[in-house]
Structure 1
Amino acid sequence: MSGVTVWAELWDTDHELSHVDVAGVRTRVLRAGCGPDLILLHGTGGHLEAYARDIAGLAADFRVTVYDMVGHGWSALPDRPYTVDVLADHLVGLMDALGIASAHLSGESLGGWVVAWTAAHHPDRVDRLVLNTPGNIANKPEVMARVRDSTMAAVLDPSAATVRPRVEFLFHHKEMVTDELVDLRRAIYSRPGFVQAITNTLVLQDPAVRGDFAWEPGWVGRITAPTLLLWTEHDPTGGLDEAALLLGWLPDAQLHVIADAGHWPQWEKVDEFLRCHRNFLLAERNGRG
């Protein structure tokens, strides 16, 4: 992996990287491919490069949009709590700005939470839904504390020694974490104002704040979009018992478990990640759904 860089993954793929105004929030967006719209959302403290290894493959079948959520990556950092409803409103606002009436949504970790909330509250904007290692469905305090403490430590001290363990937390195969991935996080975490921004993101790891948005059957059961739960054998944020909760709450859902991967199957198991998306998202069009 040491010889492969994030942007080398896109050498032979036409793409556009730009900044889009979303209700006053300067938002970094990358788009590639053509076909049905597919929007991918990263996790807590993340950035669009989380999908660098998948964009070219998905662009063969979809009009792919990846972006830095408000308060993340190189998007703007307005000083307000980035609760799930705020992040979902930013997503819908981006769709409006790009002229996307409805799209397939695929979110990893926090991104999975955001796309699920969007599907429940804006059902007309969502075609099909992929929840990729959405994390801590059971709202376990120890998981919240681990995410909060490791993320804040990396942002307060964005050295390689501190940031690398935060990135390695996402992987089952730690050896796949490149210096480039670590340096990307270090650059983001060193942005002026990012300590406050990550504080605004980590409010979701506070049980008192989280309570208004916590996974529960009331709002999850309102999701009408066909949903794929994409789990892994070694996700540090939640096991298959939590996938079973979602299967019981969602009206139309199926589960696929990726072996030998952690919280980032889109990086560790690219071929399987791409195949799952193609098979599920194109199923209806191909007459299989």
Structure 2
Amino acid sequence: MKPIVTTQDALAPLPRLLVEPIVRAALLEDLGRAGDITTDAVIPTEAWLRGTIDAREPGVVAGVDVGLLAFTLIDPAVTVVIDRPDGSRVNPGETVLRVEGPARSILSAERVALNLLCRLSGIATATAALVDAVRSHGHARIVCTRKTTPGLRALEKHAVRAGGGANHRFGLDDAVLIKDNHIAIAGGVRAALERARAAVGHLVKIEIEVDTLDQLDEALEVGADAVLLDNMNPDTLSEAVRRVNKRAITEASGRITVATAPAIAATGVDLISTGWITHSAPILDMGLDVA
């Protein structure tokens, strides 16, 4: 049966050049100075293993290429077949990956593969829950933030896309986002925006965080490309969207949950950003079952 995928189109995997150093570092951390001494002591060299990585609970899959790479970096003789690509919804007992090869190699790679696969699938699952919650309440897209695990940002932001969300900035260098501390030190909304506009190139977008409607009016006068409407209630957000009137991208942020997201989306904002889908999402439990 063809898997149900959360994204409209197949999600292209991240380039191996980006992923391999992360997986390689995780394997080196686990193997330590002497390798898998348990497996080497217990499992005969010639032992062969055929198994599956199966979901233990319902959710959305992400990181299958990362899991595959963990096995094949340990031993190219291991073969991996992907049954559920990134973005697939799975139920308990359904197979995500099938692995076959030398038992020692598969057992040595198992934990790293599962750590990354479960972590990324948990992010995709959390994202999908928010996407589902706002689907019939406006046009808002769910976007992530820079609140990611150090070293895993590319993978975690990819997992957000697998869950049907979109990405905010990848780093400090791909857009200007003027936050409250920038405003306080720069001397106000107008001063911060004018300084930013004078300093960056014409292709760089400028977003500014505003806490009040007065700050919003000032940001619109200067000409921000996007406004981050921080911790505003739905009534205030609705008024903010009315005042913006499509002159800038509107983004709502601040303690967004599955319960509060529908009302926020109904205000007409373009984006809803949240950090918890990357920094606090629970894993999606999976396990390796030997055939």
User: Above 0.5 in TM-score?
Assistant: no
Indicate the structure whose relative CO is greater, using CA pairs within 8 Å and at least 6 residues apart: 2
> Normalising to structure 2: TM-score of the pair?
0.23
> Normalising to structure 1: TM-score of the pair?
0.23
